[in-house]
Amino acid sequence: MTRQSEDDVGATEKAKDKAQVAKGKIKEATGKATHNRSLEAKGKGDKVSGNLKQAGEKVKDAVKK
């Protein structure tokens, strides 16, 4: 893979991770508003997963430099 295509893949992954965090926030808020503990828990899980993936991308970026 070329450097450009690696950067494109990294940017795509970062966007997906941010979207997952945003989706998790929405699920969590909806779960709280509707008193749906299951949905709230799923939202928290999505947020944690997205944040961990973002941290992994930051590590990858630091290693590349």
User: What digits encode the pLDDT tens for the residues 7-57?
Assistant: 677 889 999 999 999 999 999 999 999 999 999 999 999 999 999 999 998
Mind listing the pLDDT tens digit for each residue in 45-59?
A: 999 999 999 999 889
| The predicted structure's pLDDT at residue 10 | 80
pTM for the full predicted model: 0.80
Q: Which bin fits 31, alpha (ψ -120 to 50), beta or left (φ > 0)?
A: alpha
The dihedral through the CA atoms of 47, 52, 54, 55 has a sign that is positive
pLDDT on residue 6: 64
